[in-house]
Structure formats: structure tokens, C-alpha cells
Amino acid sequence: MIYRYLLLAGLSMACLAFMVPTNAATLSSGDLIKASSASVYYYAEDGKRYVFPNDKTYFTWYSDFSAVETISDEELATIPIGGNATYRPGIKLIKVTTDPKVYAIDGDRTLRWIKTEAIAAFMYGDDWAAQVDDLPDTFFVNYSVGLPIEDFYDFIPLTVSNDHLTIQTTLPKSAVSPEPEPSPEPSSDMKFSFTLSKYLVRAGDIETLTVTASHPSGISKIELFFDGILIKSCISSTSCTDETQVPISGTKEEYEAKAIVTALDTTTEIKTIAVLLNSGSDGLVAITVTRPFIKSGQIGEAVVASSQTIAIIRTDVYIDSVSTKACATGAPVCPWTGILTGDIGTVYEFYGIVTDSLGRTYRTSTETITISENDSPIVTTESDKYTIYVGETVDIVIRASDDDGINMIEILEDDQVIKTCDKVIKCTVTVGPWAIAGTHNYNGRATDGLGKAHTNANIQLTIE
Amino acid sequence: MKYISSLISSLAAIAMLVTPLVTQASSTSFTTGDLIRGETINTVYYFGPDGKRYVFPNEKTYFTWYPDFSNVKIIADSELSAMPLGRSNVTYRPGYKMVKITTDPKVYAIDQGGILRWVKTAELAETLYGLNWKGRIDDIPDPFFVNYKLGTPIENSSQYNSQDTLTGTSNIAIDKQFDESHVTITIANSNQGFVPASTTVKKGSTVTWTNRDISVHAVSGDGFSSSMLQPEASFTHTFNTVGSFDYSCTVHEVQTGTVNVVN
């Protein structure tokens, strides 16, 4: 059952084996070997052979069997089995038949669950589903399960696969390298601490720098610098603190905070701390494209929404890095709509930048609209109330429409499907009553008559 | 962020003609040590006290433990998928047969815990397994060899008794040295519930609930209640009195379960 390809290749190799016998003494680690039977093994640095559990595993490493050397059965029998080879990291995605989770393969034989389809599509393209192999349950034990992939840049397939060019790089480290000697602490009589109120800042934030210092001869001077500018100098004091505003305009991604302490005997010590500038969304701003796939000439819609905790003075919607619309009203929602045209496969990139009253900026993630032969269904979510009390229920209504008809609507609660409606354009579910206060997110996923699915943005229900 | 698209409110006017069907999986009761399978795929698993399901690599392995499939319980696919796979596979029942791999002539007897012990001579194999010892050897496919560990070779017949080993390892829990006084229940999403929803333990057993969902859950029953359990967090309670203890998730009221404590 397992050896379909290995068997075919193995048989033809077996005939050759009698004509060109290979001497075991010439084996070196990294070789592919086989004997009279069909199975091919990887010969590793530990002198053991590693088994390919199935042909799919083999083909993540090799495109054919041309490099396989044939040795005698007797020689093969003297080489112990070390374990099983696993998928080459970064090449494919796998799942087990009885679990819907899709995993990427990282180094050290680690499986990492890809939490959303959007991340899978970002990593492996729109046809990511075609990259998913079913791993027989039996071979799940050959892997360990690592941390899930929650963000787009958690896992870059090409980088991971380039870091693993040989099976050897995926095998457990047999030898433990000795602990390195701890390097001795540089001895100094200067005791000196330098702290900041924030290490990750936004433009416009107030940053506080604090130094306390001591030296047997006494402290002569403490100087504080931010972005190369002296902001405070304290004379004959063992502590020094001051605040400064992080520049609002500028292209830097990080600033340097620096403290110089000088003792009375002229001993001088310098400490620097990198302050990273955060221009990300922090979950406070988000962009939603109503339909990620549209036909050329259809109306595309992207909406930037901001948390009410931001004092918004301006919201910009960018298409392909060009500001296309600015909402200056301070409204928490800034929609852009327009006709998009292009050849099939054309991708428009959308993101939003929200500016607050202090000039601080918040950038959303990037979403795309792709010109496609088949457009995504339009999906909307409605609820009579967004805040209900413990013990109450509320109806969540998902509607969908598409030129090709709607095949299915699924309603999701906190990313889990709680209801499925077939062949209808409206699907309702009653949620609650809850026993305790909290929040739940609801959204819908519609699949059109041609199988294209789209999931809309969450609405949040608060239970008080 | 409460944003709702109202692009197509005109759709509201269109009446619904089809009543959607909601598929609700039937809930079969199963407990530690049971054989289980899902509704659609016929792979059989051993359900361990750690709340995980253990794979039989092939039928030969299965039949060293069970004569047939009559005791396999069919559970909802959703329940099955909520349960993690065990970190090891089921191995041959110790003492039942000897094994070898196709590409190595060594014959091994099996000891508890999937330990392979090389039977050094044909004479020794005959002493251990009788005249028909050659009929008592199975070939293990190479990819399953990693499920076993190599132990010390058997030098003489006093070092291994196949019948004692067989009767001393009457079930998979003994072979895998599971602590059956410690049972784990998976907290899945509100659709899948607690897996298993009903479980039977001996008095004095410790039950651990582990949240394998992506939402927060909390376990609350008569005499025990957890704090809010974040994903991957656990709550443990020891049951020292006999009886049936119903419990539920305080966040998702539909999610209920029962622990039956017996002597």
C-alpha cells in the first residue's frame, strides 16, 4: 500500500544491482541506499539507515531515484534502522485524516498548526489546499507538535526549506555539545542601572529615561540622550530622570536611548537601549475587504475600522501603497468603494493608516482584492443587539449572495462552525443564553455554486 | 470594533423556502480503555486515560490484543477530531509473537512497553515458542520499527517466558504503563462538548480537564469548579466519593458532562 512508487523504481534498480554491485565501504553519510527489496533508505551520519514511511515523504526530498545506490542484503542487514525520515520542512502542508487541523512542517520534525486559511493562503498561495497531504495517523508519532502559526510572518516556507537541504538536518542531534564556559563578567566598580518607561513606542508617546548609579569615588555626572540628542544632564547626583516625546514625523523604525555616567575619578560607562517604534495596528485598527475576489469591472469595497479608544483625526485608505481616500471626519469607519478592472490574476493591495490627535499612526494589515473569473460571495452578518444580558438570547443572521448561487452558509462562533445551512441565502442561529459575562465573535462563511468560499469580518457580541 | 456591512439589505425581502438541516452527532458513551472509531473513517483507536487516541499501525498489531472488532464504539467524527493523537503507537502484545524486520535476519521477542529483545539462536526460539516457532514470527514493516525500542538480547530461556509475559500484559494500559487512576477529559468547542462527555473512574482517581479549544472554558460541578481556562490550560480534581457528578462549562452552558465514580 505504501510503496507504490518505491516498488516500481525498486524493481528496475534490482536488475541493475547484479551488474553494478556497490561496495558498502564506499558508503558515506547522506547516501540513499537499497538492497534487493524495494525499500530505499537514507544513510545518516550516525551510521544508521532511516526509513521513508511513504513515497510522498521521499518526494519532498528527491525528485527521482537516480541517486540510489544498491548494496547487498547482507550489508544492509548490518546497518541498524535509526528511525523514519520525515517531510522536508517548508515544502508541503500535512493533516491527519481524522483532524481538520492543517500543519506546516518546521525544523526538528515539528508540526505547526496554521490557524487560519488566510495565513495558509499567504504562505502557500491561493491553491494552498492542493499542497496539503494526508499523513497516515500511524506516522504522526514521527513528529512533535510545536507552537501554532498565528501571524503571516511566523513561518516563511522558502526560508524554512532552504534551511533544510538534507534529511540529516532534520534528524535528532545524537551528540550533545559540551556546555560552553561562562564568560567572566567584566569587573567594574561602577554600579549603573538604566531603564525606560516603554521599550516599544508610538510616534508622539512620552518616553521616560531613568538612571541610578553609584561608584566608590562618587558620581560626577549623568547624561541622558534620546535619538542622539542630550535631553538632561545631572551633576553630582546618583540618579537622573527625564521625559521626552517620541518624534511624530520621521522615517526611523527605532531610536536609541543612551546614558553616560561619569564618576569623580573620571571612570566613564555608557549604556544604550534600542527603542522600537510601533506603527502596527495593536488590534486597534483593522481593514476588511468585503469580497477578496471580484470580476473585472465589479465594485470592490475595503473598510478601515478603528477602535473608539483612538482619538482619530484622519484615516487614509491605501491601494497599492498610494493613498486613495482620506476620511477626515474622525469617524471610526472609513469605507472605500470603487470599480476595479484588470486581467484575471491582478491583485490590488489595501491597507489603512489611522492618525490620532497626537500625530501617532496606526497601520492595518494588508488585505487584497484579486480580479478573478469567479467572484467571492457577498456575506453580511446582522444581529438585533450587540450587547445582551446574561440569560438572554439573540438571533444572528447571515445573508449571502452570488451570481452563481449560494451552495452553503456556515455561521461561526469564535471561529468554530455552529450552524450550516445548505442552498439558502439566509441562515439564522439563536445564540445564548450565557451564564456569565464575556464576549463572543460571530461571522459567516458562504460558498457559491462554483465552490468559492468567503468569510466576512466578525461582529462582536458582549454579554453583560 | 462593531462594523457590519449593509450592502445587500434588499435580500431581506426574499423569503426563505428551505429549512436548513442541522446535523447533530449522536453521542455514544465511551470511557478509558475503550476501542473507538469515527463515523466516516473506519480506523480504530485505543482511547487512553490521558484523553488521547492511540493508533494501531496495522491489523496484525490489532489482532494481538483483540479477537475481532465487536467491541469498537462508533463516536461522532467531531468528538474524534477533538481528541489528540497519542505520542506513541500501539505495539504488539508482549509474549504473543516474535517479530523481525524484512531487511534484518534478527528475530525478536517482545517485552512490556514495546521492547524488542533479540532471540540469539534457533534453539532458544524453539524453547521459548515451541517446535512451530517459525510460524510465530511476524514481519514488521520498516516504518513501524521506530515504534519499538531495543532491549537487551535474550541469552538463555530463563530470561524470558512468553506465557508469563502474555498473561502479565493483559491490556494496552499495562503495556504502556498508563496510570489509570489519572484520567484526562478534553474540553473541545461548544459544538463538540467534553470528550468523552461521560467517563467512569475508580474512587480516588484524579480527573484532569484540558482545554484544547481556542476559546476560554471553565468547568463547574457539585464540589468542584475551575477558574477560566485559557487554551491549553488544565484543571484537576480528585474524586473521593462514589456517585455521579454532573458538570458543565460556565461559559458555554450547552457543554455538559458526567464523571461516574465507582468503587
* String of DSSP letters for A207-258: EEEEEEEE-TT-EEEEEEEETTEEEEEEES-SEEEEEEEPPSS---SEEEEE
- Residues in A touching B74 (Cβ below 8 Å): none
Contacts for A254 with CB less than 8 Å, ≥ 6 apart: A274, A275, A276, A277
Cβ-defined contact of A303 to B215 (cutoff 8 Å): no
Query: By C-alpha distance, which of A176, A175, A164, A177 is closest to A45?
Result: A175
Residue A188 pLDDT = 62
Q: Share the mean pLDDT of chain A.
A: 82
Q: Chain B residue with minimal CA distance to A80? A: B104
- Residues in A touching B141 (Cβ below 8 Å): 2
**Chain B interface includes A290 (CB < 8 A):** yes
Q: A152: buried, middle or exposed (CB in 10 Å: 19+, 13-18, 0-12)? A: middle
Cβ-defined contact of A378 to B251 (cutoff 8 Å): no
Asked if residue B173 lies in contact with residue B54, where contact means CB atoms within 8 angstroms, the answer is no
Give the number of other CB atoms < 10 A from CB of residue B128: 21
Band of residue A285 on the pLDDT scale cut at 50, 70, 90: confident
Query: By C-alpha distance, which of A118, A28, A41 is closest to A76?
Result: A41
Which among B89, B103, B147 is the top mutation candidate for probing chain A, defined by the most A β-carbons within 10 Å of its own β-carbon?
B103
Strand order in the sheet with B206-211: B194-195, B182-187, B206-211, B234-238
Residue A25 pLDDT = 54
Task: State yes or no: pLDDT of A8 exceeds 70.
Answer: no
d(CA A318, CA A376): 22
Average pLDDT of the residues in B229-241: 90
Q: How distant is the Cα of B223 from the closest Cα of chain A, in angstroms?
A: 18
**Chain B interface includes A399 (CB < 8 A):** yes
B44-96: per-residue pLDDT in tens? 999 999 999 999 999 999 999 999 999 999 998 888 999 999 989 999 999 99
Residue A425 pLDDT = 86
Contacts for B39 with CB less than 8 Å, ≥ 6 apart: B25, B74, B75, B76, B77
C-alpha gyration radius of chain A: 30
Residue B21 pLDDT = 35
A171-187: per-residue pLDDT in tens? 887 533 333 434 444 44
A329-354: per-residue pLDDT in tens? 677 888 888 888 888 888 899 998 88
Would the CA dihedral through B227, B228, B233, B236 be positive or negative? Answer: positive
Q: How distant is the Cα of A363 from the closest Cα of chain B, in angstroms?
A: 15
Contacts for A142 with CB less than 8 Å, ≥ 6 apart: A53, A83, A84, A86, A109, B146
Strand locations in B90-172 (E): 98-101, 104-111, 115-119, 137-140, 149-150
- Residues in B touching A413 (Cβ below 8 Å): 190
Task: State yes or no: pLDDT of B25 exceeds 80.
Answer: no
d(CA B25, CA B82): 13
Query: By C-alpha distance, which of A56, A135, A55 is closest to A101?
Result: A135
Strand order in the sheet with A40-43: A68-70, A32-34, A40-43, A49-51, A81-84
B90-142: per-residue pLDDT in tens? 999 999 999 998 888 899 999 999 999 999 999 999 999 999 999 999 999 99
Of A52, A288, A434, the CB nearest to B253: A434
Residue A386 pLDDT = 84
Q: Chain A residue with minimal CA distance to B18? A: A424
Would the CA dihedral through A24, A25, A27, A29 be positive or negative? Answer: positive
Band of residue A227 on the pLDDT scale cut at 50, 70, 90: confident
Task: State yes or no: pLDDT of A415 exceeds 80.
Answer: yes
Task: State yes or no: pLDDT of B224 exceeds 90.
Answer: yes
Cβ-defined contact of B3 to A305 (cutoff 8 Å): yes
d(CA A457, CA A463): 19
Backbone phi, then psi, for B109, in 5-degree steps?
-90, 155
Cβ-defined contact of A288 to B3 (cutoff 8 Å): yes
**Chain B interface includes A414 (CB < 8 A):** yes
- Residues in A touching B57 (Cβ below 8 Å): 138
Residue A109 pLDDT = 93
Interface predicted TM-score of the whole assembly (ipTM), two decimals: 0.77
**Chain B interface includes A429 (CB < 8 A):** no
Query: By C-alpha distance, which of A226, A225, A298, A290 is closest to A260?
Result: A225
* Cell numbers standing for residue B78: 467531531
Residue A6 pLDDT = 40
The CA-atom distances, in angstroms, between A223 and each of A115, A190, A207, A234, A260 are: 48, 15, 16, 6, 5
Q: How distant is the Cα of A218 from the closest Cα of chain B, in angstroms?
A: 51
The CA-atom distances, in angstroms, between A192 and each of A214, A262, B229 are: 6, 10, 42
How does DSSP classify residue B217? B
* Cell numbers standing for residue A107: 525544523
Cβ-defined contact of A83 to B104 (cutoff 8 Å): no
Cβ-defined contact of A81 to B89 (cutoff 8 Å): no
Cβ-defined contact of A423 to B38 (cutoff 8 Å): no
Cβ-defined contact of B5 to A140 (cutoff 8 Å): no
* Cell numbers standing for residue A258: 543612551
Q: Report how far Cα B72 is from the mean position of its chain's Cα atoms.
A: 12
- Residues in A touching B12 (Cβ below 8 Å): 399
Q: For chain B, what's the residue count?
A: 263
Cβ-defined contact of A456 to B5 (cutoff 8 Å): yes
Query: By C-alpha distance, which of A312, A287, A322, A324 is closest to A302?
Result: A287
Q: Chain B residue with minimal CA distance to A84? A: B143
Query: By C-alpha distance, which of A419, A211, A396, A3 is closest to B254?
Result: A419
Which among A39, A70, A81, A116 is the top mutation candidate for probing chain B, defined by the most B β-carbons within 10 Å of its own β-carbon?
A81
d(CA A92, CA A131): 6
Band of residue A135 on the pLDDT scale cut at 50, 70, 90: very high
Query: By C-alpha distance, which of B108, B106, B76, B72 is closest to B91?
Result: B108
Q: How distant is the Cα of B13 from the closest Cα of chain A, in angstroms?
A: 11
- Residues in B touching A442 (Cβ below 8 Å): none
Helix (H, G, I), strand (E, B) or coil at B164: helix
* Beta-bridge mates of residue A272: A258
- Residues in A touching B191 (Cβ below 8 Å): 416-418
Of B21, B145, B189, the CB nearest to A81: B145
A–B CB contacts, 8 A cutoff, strictly below: 151
